[in-house]
Each structure stands twice: as structure tokens, then as C-alpha cells.
A = this chain, B = another copy of it.
Amino acid sequence: MGKPNLCIAHSGGVTAILNTTAAATIRRARESQQFGTIYAAEFGLNGLVSGRLFDTTPLTDTQLTQLSHTPSSAFGSCRFKLPDYTADPKPYQQIMQTCADFNIQYLVYQGGNDSQDTTLKLSAAQSHFSHPLAVIGLPKTIDNDLEGTDFCPGYPSAAKYIATSIQEAALDTWAMSKNSTQVFILEVMGRHTGWLALAAGIARSHPEQAPHSILIPERSFCKKTWLDYVKRCVSQYGFCVVVASEGITDQQGNALVAQSRTDAFGHKQLGGVGAYLADLVSTQAGLKAHWALPDYLQRSAGHLRSAADVACAQQLGEAAIDALLNGQHSVMLALSRTQSTPVSWQTTTIDLNQCANLEKTCPLDYLEAETNLLSDAAKSYLTPLLTGEASPEFMHGTPAYFNRSDLRLALHPNTTEQIV
């Protein structure tokens, strides 16, 4: 029996730097010469359940570099909630069968707080199986709501996109404000936390600067107070620019715009806050409003990544291999900020129970309630995350991203036939 094999799997909503971490993990694992084949699961847990894995062996160094610059997940992600083992052991059995078949003894699982629940459950279920599987969790989410880490990789790049876009939209809105639009609303992701909306205010230091209003789920929304504020901004500055988290709630804690659908984790599928607020401004304040919904564009903007995000994503990808080779498993790696100038981040480990299913909210003192100005503490936190630009190569006008057709599914060890 040769060296043990390693598998990478992605979970949850994708980000601009998941592939960056994956490429770093693959490179470090290759360099260590301690692993046989390095696999990546197709669509995360789905590929582990079904035995559909990509064999990363054929990827050249050039292709890994291109992968590293490419947003989203080249292998596919999943929204797959593992049931409790006692309630339904079947998916666990399928995953362990795949790992046994492919001699996968190490799994790097990257995801958000729901996904660390999967890491925790897979780790805890180990005692039921004879095949050894060391699982390590890596953080990732543009929501930045994972406990135990200074920030979540993916957040700084999405935050940079939001902070840049709102500046640009604000320049546009002011220019059109005399005869056309006075109010612009940007609806950003964030079901329960306002981290992305908060970042929109990073370049603002005076009340007359945009974005004038930052609406976060951590602070309840009062229609009258907000409309009065918007009208005052338009009266004083000629325009008003608003950033709203998709999940803001009224004073009774109800989402402003709730929809009936729910995802695999039982979360309500939200959306429509931008349209709702624009309609409010138009019908109740008599002001013309435009609104934008960047949706996936905000989390996959590979053309505007934060250099700090990219560096930390690589650091974590490498640290996962180092940790596994040091015998660590059943933990999540995290980032701890050092106090030196310039800021840097150390990799630490945290107990999965301290992050799985937990949500870290925005401190309320990060955003001054009256003026919507960010506090110095908020700026000190955010500025190092957003600083620095990591640009992809462009070809004929658009980014030259990794081509998924360069990937090959692995042959199943018990067959010589290609998996289709």
C-alpha cells in the first residue's frame, strides 16, 4: 500500500479565494512528498458520497497558478447538511466507502459555520469506521460571521468589491441628482450580520460623504426614522446613498421582505430589500431612487481581490497540510491578528464546537447610529483586510481564468472505466 491520499472539498457559498487556498494546499502537499494522490471532491460532500473526485495530479504549475487566481470553486461546492449519524448513518457510510476505495486518509474541508458542523460531525463519526480519516476544517465565507477567527477568507475581497462599487455608484448618483436620481440603494449579502454592508463605509470620514446610510441586521430598521434621514441627506447634500444588508429586520425582528422558500439548511431565501427601500423612497418621500443587487457578482469578483485575503488564503491552505502532517485533526484552522505594523496574521487552531453553527455579529459600536460613520475601531479592523490589490491576468479583454475542462475525474480504483 502506497502513501495515503488527500482530498479537498468545498462547502457553502463560494468566494473569490477558495481556489487560492486549494492551489496552496495542493502545492504544499506535493512538496511534502507525504501523500499519494491529491483529490478534490466534485461538488464537495456530493463527490465524497458518490465517489466523483477530480485527480489533481495532471495539473501543471502554470495551471495551479491560474487556479489560484480564479474565483468560485473549480471543483464545485455544496449545500449539503449531514444528518445526525444516529438518525441516518447512510451518507457517512457512503463517504467512508469512497475514502476507503480511494485510500483517502486526509480531508481538508473548507466552509462557513454550517460547513464546520459537517467537519465536526465527520470527525465525531470516526469511531464507527475502521478506515482512518483525519479531517481538518478551514474557514471561508464572505459573510465574515465565523467565530474564532480574525476574519473569514473571502470576506476581504467581497468587502473590497462592495466598498469600491459604492464609491463608484455614489459618484454616479451625485452626477445625476439634479434632474434624475437622488437616492441610490445597494443591497448586499448578509442574512444575519452586517459585515459586508459595514465595509461600504470604510472610505467615509464626513457625514456628507457616501454612503450616507448603512443598514445592518444587527440594528433594527425604523421606516420613519430612516425616511427622515434620507430626506435630510438629499436636502443637505443633494443625494443619498444607502447600503442595505439583505437581512435587515423591523423593530419586531421580522425581515423586511421575507420569501417563502428555504434552502437546505432551513434558512429563508431573502432578497428584495433594495427594491423595497427604493419603492419606499419613491412613494413616501417623492424622490427618484435607483437600486442595485450585485448578488453573486459580489462574492466572485476575482478581478478585484484583496491582497491580504489572497495571502491569508494561501497561508491557510499551506497550514492545513502542515497541521495534518503534525497529527492535528478535528479542528478548524483560524487566523489571529498580530499587533505589529504592518499587520500580519498567524494561523491558530480552534475547537470545532467553538465555531460550528455559531454566528459572529458586527459590534454595534463599529457603526455610529446617528451619522452612520464607522468608528476608529471598525476602520482599524477593516483597513488591513481591504488593502492591496491582487489582479488576474487578462486575455482579449476579460480575465484568463482556470478552465474547468482541464480537470479530469479520477478513475475509480475498482474499475478501469472513466466515471461519467
Contact = CB atoms under 8 A, between A and B. Distances in A.
A179 B300 contact: no
Given A163-B397, A300-B169, A303-B168, A76 B178 contact: yes
Interface string A117-158: 000000000000000000000000000000000000000000
Contact of A291 (B71, B180, B295, B397): B295
B386 A175 contact: no
Interface string A171-209: 111111111100010000000000000000011000000
Given A168-B302, A295-B292, A297-B294, A72 B398 contact: no
Which among A174, A202, A299 has the highest number of chain B CB atoms within 10 Å?
Answer: A174
Contacts of A23: none
A329 interface: no
A191 B296 CA distance: 24
Interface string A344-364: 000000000000000000000
A14 interface: yes
Nearest to A13: B176
Contact of A165 (B73, B297, B401): B297
A3 interface: no
A14 B178 CA distance: 13
Given A295-B292, A297-B292, A176 B397 contact: no
Contact of A72 (B74, B168, B179): B168
Contact of A176 (B79, B290, B303, B382): B79
Interface stretch (A91-99, A215-223, A387-395): A387-395
Contact of A290 (B80, B172, B295, B401): B295
Interface residues of A, number: 70
A160 interface: yes
A43 interface: yes
A54 to B, nearest CB: 13
A213 interface: no
Which among A74, A79, A168, A385 has the highest number of chain B CB atoms within 10 Å?
Answer: A168
A71 B172 contact: yes
A72 B80 CA distance: 43
A169 B71 CA distance: 9
Which among A10, A79, A169, A177 has the highest number of chain B CB atoms within 10 Å?
Answer: A169
Contacts of A73: 175
Contact of A293 (B72, B291, B301): B291
A180 B79 CA distance: 7
B398 A174 contact: no
A263 B179 CA distance: 9
Nearest to A50: B178
A264 B73 CA distance: 45
A292 B290 contact: no
Contacts of A165: 297, 301
A148 B357 CA distance: 60
A167 interface: yes
B399 A164 contact: yes
Nearest to A163: B398
A22 to B, nearest CB: 12
A178 B42 CA distance: 9
A77 B174 CA distance: 9
Contacts of A394: 389
20 contacts: A13-B176, A74-B171, A76-B178, A77-B175, A77-B176, A168-B296, A168-B297, A168-B302, A171-B302, A172-B299, A180-B263, A180-B264, A202-B398, A203-B397, A290-B296, A291-B295, A382-B397, A386-B396, A388-B397, A389-B391
Given A14-B171, A76-B178, A165-B301, 12 more contacts: A14-B175, A72-B172, A73-B175, A78-B179, A80-B179, A164-B399, A167-B399, A168-B303, A203-B398, A292-B293, A385-B397, A388-B397
In order of increasing CB-CB distance, the 3 nearest A-B pairs are A386-B397, A72-B171, A292-B295
